[in-house]
Amino acid sequence: MIKPTFDFYHNTLGLKLLMKTINQDDHTMYHLFFSDNEQRTGTELTFFELNDGQDQSFGTNTIERTILKVPTRASLDFWAERLEQAGICHYGAETFNQHPILRFEAPDNTQMALVPLREFENAEDYFPAEHAEIPVEHAILGIDAIQLRVQYAAATKQPLVDYLHWHEKETVPFFETAHEVTVLENHHPQFYQEVHIIDDRTNPLAIEGIGGVHHVAFGVEDTQELTQVDSLLDEKNFTNSGIKDREFFKSLYFREPNHLLFEVATQKGLLDAEAYENQSSNFDEIPLYLPHFLVDQRERIEAILAQQRHE
């Protein structure tokens, strides 16, 4: 359901609503974009509305968890209390790879986590959205890491390192399990991020469904770099969508060998889509943005969305 999703990520987590729009491939689905206050790449979380179907099942070959940054270790205590007040299940204070972490399950059992900045990171490099109930010293800063659980970690690592400029950092255990995690890092001086690839050949394949992560997007600087990635994927016979023009950005999609769906998207363009200043806490008060090629279908699209919400 779209309203509980909006309420949690905007009103509880305090993320800025960047855009309320629709899935360009399925006009019956809302598509929400959340970000920091500057709408920077690396801070965006997006959600499709999916009302029918089964729930996501645990297993391997899946995009398992999204990890968000907060300023300090004390921020985890603030968020543990705030999540409890919102009725959200969390796992309490834990340590992963010698770093504090607070894992929790968002609405629809979407797996999330929070971690504090590392010693070499500077809170002044981030621009959290403002929220009356969330002190800036505890506000969510952006995406820290994504955890992927796959049967063959080396196969997932290869396109990320060879085509998208990630760097292998280390291999560590996954909490108190026998599974190893390959940690990749981006070497960005002002927005450090990681990819955690959990090698899991023992659990059954995950079944994609409600609450799961459909794809993860990786940024490139411009259309020229996107075209280069497209050519590399073609040369290596990766199944891919080719470059799609989404109006506010251009992107392509491809399946890596463990069948995870990756998007590669340009980092510029979304800001030009609309001056989205309406940050109401009421979902219905926020206008629906439509790309130019769908503006003349607004009445039909809004009628379909309204009907679905009342079924």
CATH architecture under which domain 215-269 falls: Roll (3.10)
Q: Give the range with max mean pLDDT: 44-58, 165-179, 239-253.
A: 165-179
Query: Does an H or E element contain 254, and which?
Result: strand 250-255
Q: Tell me how far apart the alpha carbons of residues 169 and 253 are, in angstroms, rounded to a whole number.
A: 26
Task: Report the chain's mean pLDDT, rounded to a whole number.
Answer: 92
pLDDT in tens, 232-250: 999 999 999 999 998 888 9
pLDDT of 230 > 50? The answer is yes
Let me know if 255 is exposed, middle or buried by CB neighbors in 10 A (0-12, 13-18, 19+): middle
* Cβ–Cβ under 8 Å, residues 243 and 289: no
In this prediction, residue 272 carries a pLDDT of: 47
- C-alpha 62/C-alpha 44 separation (Å) is 20
Q: Which of 148-157, 276-285, 287-296 bottoms out in mean pLDDT, i.e. has the lowest? A: 276-285
Domain boundaries, the chain: 1-52+272-310, 54-213, 215-269
CATH number of this structure's domain 1-52+272-310, picked from the four choices 3.10.180.10, 2.60.40.10, 1.10.390.10, 3.40.605.10: 3.10.180.10
pLDDT at 273: 45
Q: Is 118 helix (H, G, I), strand (E, B) or coil?
A: coil
Architecture of domain 54-213: Roll (3.10)
Cβ-contact 151, 258 below 8 angstroms: yes
The answer to whether residue 309 scores a pLDDT higher than 80 is no
Phi, psi at 78, each rounded to 5°: -60, -45
Query: Does the fold of domain 54-213 match that of domain 1-52+272-310?
Result: yes
Dump strand ranges (E) for 130-173: 142-150, 167-173
pTM of structure? 0.94
- Mean pLDDT calculated for residue range 93-97: 96
